[in-house]
Amino acid sequence: MKKNLSTTLGVALAIVVAVAAIFVPQHRARARRDACLNNLRQLEGAAMSYCLENKLPFDKTLTPEAFSAYLLPGRDGAPAICPSGTAPYSSFNVLHGPRCPNSTEHNRIFVTKGCRGEKAAVWAAALSRGAARGLSWTDSIDPKEITIGFYCGKCTGTCPLGTNGYPPFVLASGPHCPLSAEHNAAQGHPWRNGEFFDKHGNANTNLSLSAVDTNSWSVWIERRTQSNH
């Protein structure tokens, strides 16, 4: 009986150790990734605030030290290093955003989320402009004709991979990134809020465009176009 109990306990312990060996490194890697993505967001936001306050173009290259005073209170200067390596974050411009020097995966996720956020802002701005001009859902609009920042604040209106902005699109469809299919991929499940989107994630054109609450649209569009990783 004691032998069988010892054997059972030994097997259970071996299983626990094996599971821990698989999941603990994954958890640590994810924690390091999330910390890096948070650093990149802080760097991007601080650089954007610095450029706006000093009337600098978004394509101006900046060192993290230049705008360290614009980072969140309590930080001692810029978050200099990704937890996954030893190389510090380098100079960048707001148009393309910062990059992690230690992980291509961190950069892929950051750029993908950045593009989806920009597309959400462009779509919300286009809806606002379309409603103001009496356009219909089937009308097309060129994002280059919109001052994105006027409608959506701190946005560049471009994918972080490029500089030319998004091509014209039909208001009901929303903008698409011409540089990456991944950036155009929506959430893995359909967006279920029937007030704004149908079960396929398409805009609910039964709503009158002229009556669109653009603040609400901005929120729902962002949720629709973002993706969890």
Q: Let me know if residue 95 belongs to a domain.
A: no
- Report the C-alpha gap between 164 and 175 in whole angstroms: 13
Q: Let me know if residue 151 belongs to a domain.
A: yes
Q: Let me know if residue 195 belongs to a domain.
A: yes
CA 17 vs. chain centroid, Å, equals 36
- Report the C-alpha gap between 173 and 177 in whole angstroms: 13
pLDDT per residue as tens digits for the range 14-58: 554 544 455 456 678 889 999 999 999 999 999 999 999 999 999
HSE-up of 105 (CA within 13 Å, CB side)? Answer: 8
What's the structural domain count of the chain?
1
pLDDT per residue as tens digits for the range 146-201: 887 766 667 889 999 999 999 999 988 889 999 999 998 864 333 444 556 666 66
Task: Please say whether the beta carbons of 61 and 91 come within 8 A.
Answer: yes
State the pLDDT at residue 121: 85
DSSP state letter for 168? P
Domain containing 126 equals: 110-225
Q: Let me know if residue 68 belongs to a domain.
A: no
- Report the C-alpha gap between 217 and 101 in whole angstroms: 36
Q: Let me know if residue 144 belongs to a domain.
A: yes
Q: Let me know if residue 213 belongs to a domain.
A: yes
Q: Let me know if residue 97 belongs to a domain.
A: no
Helix (H) / strand (E) containing 141: strand 140-141
When comparing pLDDT for 66 and 77, which is higher? 66
pLDDT per residue as tens digits for the range 107-152: 999 999 999 889 888 888 888 888 888 888 899 999 998 887 766 6
Q: Let me know if residue 32 belongs to a domain.
A: no
Q: Is the pTM of this model over 0.85?
A: no
Contacts of the segment 142-149: beta carbons below 8 A, 24+ positions apart: 142/167, 142/168, 143/167, 143/168, 143/169, 143/175, 146/122, 148/121, 148/122
